[in-house]
Amino acid sequence: MMEQALQDKIINTIKLKFEDQVLHTETLYDFLTITLRADKVIGIIRYLYDHPDMKFQYLTTLCGVHYPELQQIAIMYQLHNLYNNMRLRLKIYLPESNPTVPTLTTVFQAANWMERETYDFYGVLFEGHPNLKRILNVDEMIIFPMRKEYPLEDQIRQDKNDSMFGR
């Protein structure tokens, strides 16, 4: 459980150098979440990596979330300080029509496959990525299947038997 004083220290450390980049802070399920402007997110993560008190030097998760009602795609970065066992979630929002953000592979090599998966399923372009191509879906696929604009299944299929699925 992260105490409030520690959360405040993390927030203040970010605000000290990037005040105009912080949009919102909240703690959900004892997980500090900071929503940032997208334009300097990589610089902020690099700052938290290098900062002698923060040391967020482990990337736990990088993934996308589609918010069709906002016409935006969120990118969520979860970082971990293994020295003090602190976790931090950073979120940015990108326009659905052109979801583009610089690559995090310049800070964490482990971001490589996470960014490829986010590209593959949500269509987010990570500028400067060393090999941004599909990782799980076929190369010929023209859609990004985790976007909520696509139906979960074909409603007019004749070959499916709903009784096989408990329906």
Q: Give me the domains of the chain, ranges plus CATH numbers.
A: 4-152 (3.30.460.80)
Q: What is the distance between the alpha carbons of residues 43 and 24, in angstroms, rounded to a whole number?
A: 18
Q: Which two three-digit tokens encode residue 143? A: 């859609």
| 2, pLDDT greater than 90 | no
What pLDDT does 149 receive? 81
Q: pLDDT, tens digit, for every residue of 122-142?
A: 999 999 999 999 999 999 999
Spacing of C-alpha 101 from chain mean position? 11
* Residue 104 DSSP code: S
Position of tokens 């976007």? 147
Q: pLDDT, tens digit, for every residue of 19-54?
A: 999 999 999 888 999 999 999 999 999 999 999 999
Quick one: which H or E segment has residue 121?
A: helix 111-122
Q: What is the distance between the alpha carbons of residues 81 and 4, in angstroms, rounded to a whole number?
A: 16
- Residues contacting 132, CB < 8 A, separation 6+: 103, 115, 116, 119, 125, 126
